[in-house]
Chains A and B, each alone.
Chain A
Amino acid sequence: SQTIHQWPATLVQPVGSPLSLECTVEGTSNPNLYWYRQAAGRGLQLLFYSVGIGQISSEVPQNLSASRPQDRQFILSSKKLLLSDSGFYLCAWSVGGGGPEQYFGPGTRLTVT
């Protein structure tokens, strides 16, 4: 069966510090991968998605970036965090070339102070 991991689970970082959040998927090959942010108020905002290694599509311009160095690894980064980057970050996967439903990881709660 497929599983998706995210770490860390929680993170408190000062403004201006760098960020690296990692997501890995097990039990499937060539998945589509997604990063979402959920701020207070519950709305889900798609940040990036990837259909293959090295292929990143950005949905929202901001100070975040994403990379996919391996088939089942998706990384969300920032060089300098802003207060507005605080939120709950969710990674998700879907079957590459398959159905549209997405499966989510446990999330990372980021607080920028």
Chain B
Amino acid sequence: AQKVTQAQTEISVVEKEDVTLDCVYETRDTTYYLFWYKQPPSGELVFLIRRNSFDEQNEISGRYSWNFQKSTSSFNFTITASQVVDSAVYFCALSEAETGGSYIPTFGRGTSLIVHP
């Protein structure tokens, strides 16, 4: 069974600080996919990134970066020089192999990030 743990319930930072959101996962599959989603106060979940289990290369997109480490089963998300607009709930998710024509993700419980001006 797949499991995603986001141990940080809430993080509060001041603007321009760097912040890392932790995600630890469990799976027995050798092929799987990891995701990060952002949920701003409006409620809609916004897809940020997907990582495949066979690609451990870290990724950077502007102020966002992701560190995927299979050895520790972690997929952490770092925001550099945080801004007030980064305030949101961030979800980490895991999908194992396709089942019945669809991938069924397991979501973590989310980390609420509050960036103060």
Chain A interface (Cβ < 8 Å from any Cβ of B): 32, 41-44, 46, 49, 51-52, 57, 59, 88, 90, 92, 94, 96-97, 99-107, 109
Contacts and interface: CB of A to CB of B under 8 A. Distances in A.
B109 A104 contact: no
Q: Is the interface of B mostly helix, strand, loop or mixed?
A: strand
A90 B45 contact: yes
Contact of B44 (A42, A52, A97, A107): A107
Nearest to B98: A100
B57 interface: no
A94 B110 contact: no
Contact of B89 (A32, A42, A57): A42
Interface of B: 33, 35, 37, 42-47, 50, 89, 91, 95, 98, 100-105, 107, 109-110, 112
Contacts of A41: 109
Given A42-B89, A42-B109, A44-B91, A100 B44 contact: no
Given A41-B109, A49-B102, A101 B50 contact: yes
A59 B45 CA distance: 20
Contacts of A97: 101
Interface centre among B43, B44, B102 (most CB of A within 10 A): B102
A59 B104 CA distance: 10
Contact of A32 (B102, B107, B112): B102
Contact of B104 (A49, A101, A104, A106): A49
Contacts of A104: 37, 44-47
A109 B44 CA distance: 11
A20 to B, nearest CB: 20
Contact of B105 (A42, A102, A106): A102
